[in-house]
Structure 1
Amino acid sequence: MSNKTILVVDDSKTDFLYVKNILDHGGYTVEYAPSGRDGIDAAKRIKPDCILMDVVMPEMNGFQATRAISRAPETAAIPVLMLSSKSQETDRVWAERQGAVDYVVKPANPKLLLSKLRALLQ
């Protein structure tokens, strides 16, 4: 079992519960933030080992939240993996430019998501 904490930032409770189930089976501790702003606050407070960030959210999207997290000194070392229904190559490139370390298209393939997390967190 892992003792790593993953913060999932997603405004969809359904999507969160799907990802939480995958992470629970992977042995991770899961924290949740329902918005980009809440995700930034939670990242500072919890200091998770990794953040799974949705892109499409109201008020502050995942690109904006990722940029804020990756540029703030207290959270810059936390890897952000984008988890989004947006599947265009331009979305992947933009995510990378905001500081994301990887990009997975929803619905996440459980084996793919867990293998990417294991590689990031080793």
Structure 2
Amino acid sequence: MGIKKILVVDDSPTDRYLLADILGRNGFEVDTAGNGKEAIEKIRLNRPQLVLMDVVMPGKNGFQITRLITRDPVMKDIPVMICSIKDQETDRIWALSQGACEYIVKPVNGQELLSKIAAIG
């Protein structure tokens, strides 16, 4: 099938822009959200094929939103890749235990991101 439609969730406008730019230049349809509440609304409305989720955000963090997505009967089939500055093995393990399918560390290497997306889709 291949992933074409991605939602980037990050409270940093700069990170949202950088990720959307990498993805857009490589043929992906990209939407963005600045927090978890907005992300849930956009997921329900637009049904992305992948969610690229930051961890540290105001309100509910990315781990909490990932858990919500992956345990919701309507959204659970949408894969979530965590994209975070947090680079500890415990963060990776916790992300996967919350339902994330993959984990990538910022600053993001474009080729690594594309490779991980290709492996998911």
Corresponding residue SS for 1:38: helix
1:84 counterpart = 2:84: yes
| Matched letter for residue 89 of structure 1 | E
Q: Is the 8 A contact 1:81 1:103 kept in 2?
A: yes
Measure, in 2, the Cα distance between the counterparts of 1:86 and 1:43. 24
Could you report, residue by residue, the CA deviation over 1:44-88 in whole angstroms, capped at 9, with x for unpaired residues?
111100000000001110000000000001100000000000000
| Matched letter for residue 96 of structure 1 | L
Change (3 A) 1:120 1:64: same
Match of 2:11 in 1: 11
Moved over 3 A (4+): none
Q: Is the 8 A contact 2:3 2:118 kept in 1?
A: no
Measure, in 2, the Cα distance between the counterparts of 1:26 and 1:90. 31
Normalised to the residue count of structure 1, the TM-score between the two structures is: 0.95
The answer for unaligned runs of 5 or more in structure 2 is none
Q: Is the 8 A contact 2:3 2:117 kept in 1?
A: no
Count of residue pairs brought into register by the alignment: 120
Normalised to the residue count of structure 2, the TM-score between the two structures is: 0.96
The answer for unaligned runs of 5 or more in structure 1 is none
Aligned-residue CA RMSD in angstroms? 1.1
Match of 2:20 in 1: 20
Measure, in 2, the Cα distance between the counterparts of 1:15 and 1:3. 21
Q: What is the CA distance between 1:3 and its match in structure 2?
A: 7.1
Q: Is the 8 A contact 1:6 1:51 kept in 2?
A: yes
Q: Percent sequence identity over matched residues?
A: 49
